Amino acid sequence: MTPEEADFMRLLEAELYKFNSFFAEKEEDFMVLIGCRAVEQELQDRVARAAARESKEELMRVRKVIVDFHGEMVLLENYSALNYTGLVKILKKYDKRTGALIRLPLIQKVLQQPFFTTDLL
């Protein structure tokens, strides 16, 4: 492996680390929020109070909280897909320009990375 290839591989590893760190942090935030009984109980209480008072405004606020949370989860999934697509394109171009064949082994490695495996979301 040439020094340039080694530098390229180090750069890719650093970027993968950034992807994974960001994704893991956000995923953990979501899991803490989902697992928080107090949040769940608060939403249930707000829905019950709104239904008892027939308060459409309160129901809309609860709905907005849920929709916003779902939207943030979708954005995180899109972040993962975008990073994967960008990485594949970079590797394809690298292989094409250098004649190296590093794309397939690296893609197999990427498929095992936390930012790509969005099972919890």
Q: Around Cβ 91, how many Cβ atoms within 10 Å?
A: 21
In a domain, 117, yes or no: no
Q: Residue 101: which domain range?
A: 3-110
**63-73 tens-digit pLDDT:** 888 888 889 88
In a domain, 119, yes or no: no
**23-52 tens-digit pLDDT:** 889 888 887 777 766 677 777 777 777 777
C-alpha–C-alpha distance, residues 118 and 23, integer Å: 9
Which pTM does this prediction carry? 0.69
Structural domain total, the chain: 1
In a domain, 34, yes or no: yes
Please give the angle made by the CA atoms of 28, 84 and 120, to the nearest 5 degrees.
30
In a domain, 78, yes or no: yes
In a domain, 42, yes or no: yes
Q: Are 50 and 62 in contact (CB under 8 A)?
A: yes
- Orientation of helix 103-110 relative to helix 56-98, angle to 10°: 160
Nearest residue to 26 via CA among 70, 87, 73: 73
